[in-house]
Amino acid sequence: MKQNIFKSVADLRFAIFILLVIASFSIIGTVIEQDQSIETYKLNYPLTNRVFGFLAWDIILRFGLDHIYKTWWFISLILLFGISLLTCTLLQQFPSLKIARRCQFFRTTQQFCRLNISTKLNHLSFTKLLFKIKENCYSIFHQKNIVYCYKGLIGRIAPIIVHFSMILILIGAVVGSVSGFKAQEIIPKTETFHIQNILNNGQLTFIPKVSVRINDFWITYTKQTTVTQFYSDLSILNVNGNELKQKTIFVNSPAKYNGIDYYQTDWNIMGLRIKTENFSIFQYPLVNLPNSQEKIWLTWVSNNQQLNNGFTILINNLQGYCSIYNQVGKFIGNLELNESLKIENPIILLDILSSTGLQIKADPGIVLIYLGFLLLMVSTLISYITYSQIWIVQDHKKIFIGGNTTRSTFDFELEFLKIVK
């Protein structure tokens, strides 16, 4: 009974069925947004208008379709598929490799009938034939009047490496799912933050107690004032505030430390620091202008305590200046950093307060996934090595010779014909 169970699990049809089920749920996880808020699912999948007549937010939350890749049943499917691959490797691939390493002599001439290519030779030197086969890099096993030759045995290892690499990829996916996390932080320049805004995490996730200081943030522009790149210079600190690592990151160039990646994702302008004519310094918050095609921030600066007289400041970049408009929207002029604007109550722009958006991500299984794909590519190259076999039986003055190969049949036939000639 145990043997039948293991044979069923190791069966190729069973593995393909499990793989199709995993692929189907992966497609569902691609279509349905993952790790979103309940309000998002209630808005997109209402009860009154079910998708396909049955799919609504209650079904999504009940069966965990909002976080498919972290559900127990999806992880169980991956483990079952891994067990199927492992069982197939132990019960089929290793015995097949062991058989391929044995000397499989042909004892009778009737056995040549089942080969793809075979022939009968008369009045040919047996020693010369073996020497010619040896020139073609075959391993030769000779016993009296029978000979067995093979080459390319390493090609038989490719299926085992494929299974092993897929198992590594599955293990890496499970490890990353249960112990990885993703966080998003918006941090003002010169501020220090801890990882707090967790977007998603696994059941065994451990959030490290590490702090990061944003030393500086800046943007580079083209001549047409379009953004080319934005940079964040950050320092990773220990619990005592001592710097462990410092790096300037930008898009597609993250900082890596202790298994955590820090990606540059977004930016924002938070406020302006302004000095008045009586040397008082005020900090004005900026509000992002909604429904605009580009990022524009504005604030209102009052000239009196009643807030009924003043001007509007607009800013859309970090090039060091902002635009001033009066109460009726008439353009007054541009105010640059550390310069004074000649108006009724002169002001000086001291600083533009910016913030950077970081995505913090940890995936402990990514190394296993990369290693698995590397082995998968290696196995693809190894699979191109042809495993070829040649059998020879000498019966009196007649020599029966035949061969077989796993691939490249035409090349093997040419090689076979050169040998017998």
- Please report, in tens digits, the pLDDT of each residue of the chain (421 residues total): 667 777 778 888 888 999 999 999 999 988 888 878 888 888 888 888 888 778 888 888 888 888 888 888 998 999 999 888 888 888 888 888 777 777 788 888 888 888 888 888 887 778 888 888 898 889 888 888 889 999 988 888 888 899 899 999 989 988 988 888 999 999 998 899 988 888 888 888 888 888 899 999 998 888 877 888 889 999 999 888 888 899 999 988 999 998 899 999 888 888 888 887 777 888 889 888 777 677 889 988 877 666 667 888 899 888 888 888 888 888 888 888 888 877 777 788 888 888 999 999 999 999 999 999 999 999 989 888 888 899 998 887 788 899 988 888 888 889 888 888 8
In the block, residue with structure tokens 């299974």: 163
Q: Which pLDDT value is given to residue 377? A: 93
Q: What is the DSSP letter of 33?
A: P
In the block, residue with structure tokens 């992966």: 26
In the block, residue with structure tokens 């076999």: 389
Q: Which pLDDT value is given to residue 264? A: 92
Q: Which pLDDT value is given to residue 109? A: 81
Residue 323 to residue 140: CA distance in whole angstroms: 87
**DSSP conformation letters of 330-362:** -EEEEEEBT-EE-SSS-EEEEEEEEEEEEEEEE
Single out the residue of 330, 305, 340, 334 nearest to residue 320, CA to CA. Answer: 334
Single out the residue of 357, 360, 37 nearest to residue 196, CA to CA. Answer: 360
In the block, residue with structure tokens 């001439």: 109
232-239 own/partner pairs: CB under 8 Å, 24+ apart: 232/264, 232/356, 232/358, 234/262, 234/358, 236/210, 236/211, 236/212, 237/192, 237/210, 237/211, 237/212, 237/213, 238/210, 239/209, 239/211
CB 282 within 8 A of CB 353: no
Q: Is 309 helix (H, G, I), strand (E, B) or coil?
A: coil
Residue 154 to residue 385: CA distance in whole angstroms: 7
Q: What are the residues whose beta carbons fall under 8 Å from the beta carbon of 350, sequence distance 6 or more?
A: 273, 274, 275, 281, 337, 338
Q: Domains along the chain?
A: 2-75 (no CATH), 101-152+386-420 (3.30.310), 179-268+357-364 (no CATH), 269-354 (no CATH)
Single out the residue of 391, 408, 396 nearest to residue 113, CA to CA. Answer: 391
Within 13 A of 342's CA, how many CA atoms are on the CB side?
A: 0
CB 75 within 8 A of CB 9: no
Overall pTM surpassing 0.85 (yes/no): no
Strand extents, DSSP E, 178-259: 181-188, 192-194, 198-201, 211-221, 227-237, 243-250, 255-257
Q: Which pLDDT value is given to residue 304? A: 66
In the block, residue with structure tokens 């943030």: 217
Report the b/e string of 143-165 with b at 16+ CB within 10 A: eeebbbbbbbeebbbbbbbbbbb
